[in-house]
Structure formats: structure tokens, C-alpha cells
Amino acid sequence: MNGGFAEPKGFFNFFRFLSVVNLFLHPRRLWVLTLLGVLSPLFSVSAQDADKGKISVLVVLSPEGAEEYGEKFREAVELWKKATADAGASFDAIGLEPGREDDREQLEARLRKEVANPEKEAGPFWLVLIGHGTFDGRTAKFNVRGPDFSDLDLAEWLKGFDRPLAVINTASASGPFLTTLAGEDRIVITATKSAFEIFYARFGEFFAKAIGGIEEADVDNDDQVSLLEAFLYSADQVAQFYEMEGRLATEHALIDDTGDGFGTRPDWFEGIRATKVSKEGAQPDGERAHQFVLVPNEFERRLSLEQRERRDKLEQQIRDLVRKRAEIGDDAYYAQVEPLLLEIAQIYESVGLSSDGEKKETEAKAGAVDKKS
Ligand SMILES: [Ca+2]
Ligand SMILES: [Ca+2]
């Protein structure tokens, strides 16, 4: 990388932003953005505090049951580990250390510790369950060495949990975890729609592959795979698997990121947008999950935690306005959407979009970003 120019990857978010502008801004208003210089995509780099907003990934692994599953689970754990390393996030696993029978206690202690001593500037916490689920007709549980734990146990341990949270339960019979764990600033993904889908779930195998950033899963081509995209990709792979085998699918994944406990099925999405909701008046799922990315693209890495959070909020407000547009009328819509777009433009500008149309000398050397990644 030389001077203020980013490698091509860095442009993806810029184009994503422009496409947002094109969709939502009145054509006559484009001059405002031109004034701001955001139509001159020249990049420079600013140094960021690497640890702020750092993601923590905690994987909990079931005992293998049958050997063929054990191998698949361990493979998935390795993929998660690698993706987490690529992301510069912290990785932790329960269920790997030989000879232990207290996985449930370990998980409870780990989560309660997080509740008691929240890391102030930490980013999202991702809890990933890889393995077998069980259902005895009343309670759905996740299988670990020693006593298993249920959705209700997990909900109890997570009371007061303050970090943005993603729970990804890739096991069979995981559906109840979505209903029980749904909440504000939480994303819950389950491999099955209910507790009755008790057969081995393949969803997690595909999910572990996708989350590291494979191209096939990158629906919006911004060079990163969001939680939502990993969900959509994995569900699609599962569906294809059963279709090819000529068998009825025994697993149907769900996602909830609106906190209402009503999950959305993958086939209700067109691209990355949900076109249906499971209850009248409910917010569509998927928008928040599309803002959760484990391995960010080059451009995204330049934004500070505050900038990302602010941008995410602004994007959300813009989508809410789009939904209300017919109700509030065009004039009000444009009046309200414009300042939001301008603020996003300013955020992007501050990490490298030139405001004067000329190439800026970088304040921090471009290499600083490369070293971090
Ligand atoms: Ca993407
Ligand atoms: Ca929902």
C-alpha cells in the first residue's frame, strides 16, 4: 500500500455507503455529499486502538458421542479458532481440555464473571455451541461433559450481561434457546426451529466455514461475512444437502436479532433483507446481525469502536425511516434522512475520505493498519 490509497478491498464499504445514498437520498440532494467530498474516494489511514471493541468468542463443545461427530465438531472448533485469530479477537473454549467433567460449571463461572466485571470497552461477546442437543419432551439441553445445561440455565447465567451478545447454538433441538434467550442487543441463531428437531444438525459445519469470510457466503460483496450472511449461507447449504440426498430436512435454522423471540426463517430473506416477519407489526430480523462481523474487511478495520457503533445506529435509523416513508411523506423523510447520511459521510471521511478532493498525506502510515491485521 502506498500514500493515501487503500488496496481495493477498502473501497467496498465506500460503495456500500454510496448505494445507501442512492437508495435513500433525494437526487437533488447529492450536491451536499459532493460538497463533503465523499464522491472523491481517496483514502488515508488513522491509527486506532486495537483493543477497543474487541470481540470475544467463547466456544462450548459437546463430547463427541459417535466418533464421526467428534471429528466434525473438532474441525468446526478449529475453523472458529482460525477465524477468531484472523479477526484479532479473543478465543476461549470449554470442552477441549482433557479429563474434565465440569463444563457446565466452567461456562456458568465464565459468564457470571463477565456479568460481575464487565470489560468497559469490550466489543460483542459471541457464544458458540458446537455439538449435540437433547430434548426429553420438556426441556431442551445442550450436551456437555458432566451435567448438561438448558436454555433456562443459560438465560439465568446471562442475566445482567451488558455486552452486545450473539448466541449461536448449532446443535439439534436448539430452537427453544432462541425464544428463551432473545433480548435487547442480542442475536440468537439456532440450527433448528424447535426442540423436536432432534437429529444431528449439519448447520454448524457450514457456519464454521462461512464465518471466517468465504466468498460464497458474502452476499453483499463487501469482502466480509456478517453473522447474518453466515446464517443464510449455512441454512442454504443444509437445504441443499437434504435435497441432494433426497431426504426430508430434519433441521430448520432460525435467527432473531430484534429481541422479540420471534425468529425469522432463511427463506424469508431476499438477499440480506427479510421480506416477512413472523408476527404482525414485528421488526424484521437480520439488520443487526448484518452489523456483526467477526473478520472485518480492511476498511472496517479503520473505524474505531465509537465510529462503528455510531455508524451502525445511524444505519438503523435510516432503515427505520425508509419503512416509515409512506406514513410521514417525502418531505419529512428527506428532511430527516439527510442529516443521518451526512453524519455517516463524516465518519467515513474521518478515516480517509478526502474532503477536498485531493490526496491527503496520511496522518498515520498506511502500514499501521497492515501490521494490525
Ligand atoms: Ca458481506
Ligand atoms: Ca425477531
Provide DSSP, 226-292. Answer: BHHHHHHHHHHHHHHHHHHHT-------EEE-SSSS--B-GGGEETTEE---SSTTPPPTTTTGGG-
Phi, then psi, of 269 in degrees rounded to 5: -100, 140
Please give the distance, rounded to the nearest whole angstrom, from the Cα atom of residue 254 to the centre of ligand 2: 9
Second-level CATH architecture of 56-291: 3-Layer(aba) Sandwich (3.40)
Measured CA to CA in angstroms, residue 69 lies from 75, 132, 166, 199 at distances of: 10, 9, 24, 12
Ligand nearest to the CA of 233: 1
User: From the CA of 179, how far away is ligand 2's center (Å)?
Assistant: 9
- Domains of the chain by residue range: 8-48+333-372, 56-291
CA of 85 to the centre of ligand 1 (A): 19
Among residues of the chain, what percentage have pLDDT more than 90? 69
Ligand nearest to the CA of 186: 2
- Higher-scoring residue by pLDDT: 60, 2: 60
pLDDT tens-digit series, residues 199-226: 999 999 999 999 999 999 999 999 999 9
Cα separation values, 216 from 77, 213, 244, Å:
20, 9, 19
Model pLDDT for residues 298-333, shown as the tens digit of each residue: 888 888 888 988 999 999 999 999 989 999 999 999
Q: How far is the CA of 137 from the centre of ligand 2 (A)?
A: 25
Q: Give CA–CA dist 178/169, Å, rounded.
A: 9
Distance between CA atoms of 257 and 186, rounded to whole angstroms? 6
Model pLDDT for residues 15-59, shown as the tens digit of each residue: 456 555 555 555 444 444 544 444 433 333 333 455 678 899 999
> Which bound ligand lies closest to the C-alpha atom of 215?
1
Least confident of 107-116, 125-134, 351-360: 351-360
User: pLDDT band at 248, cuts 50/70/90?
Assistant: very high
DSSP 8-state code for residue 345: H
Distance CA 290, CA 312 (A): 10
Q: Which ligand is nearest to the CA of 254?
A: 2
The rounded distance, in Å, linking the Cα atoms of 84 and 91 is 6
Asked whether the beta carbons of 255 and 226 are under 8 A apart, the reply is: no
How many Å separate Cα 345 from the centre of its chain? 23
Q: Is the distance from CB of 104 to CB of 144 less than 8 angstroms?
A: yes
Q: Is the pLDDT reported for residue 65 higher than 60?
A: yes
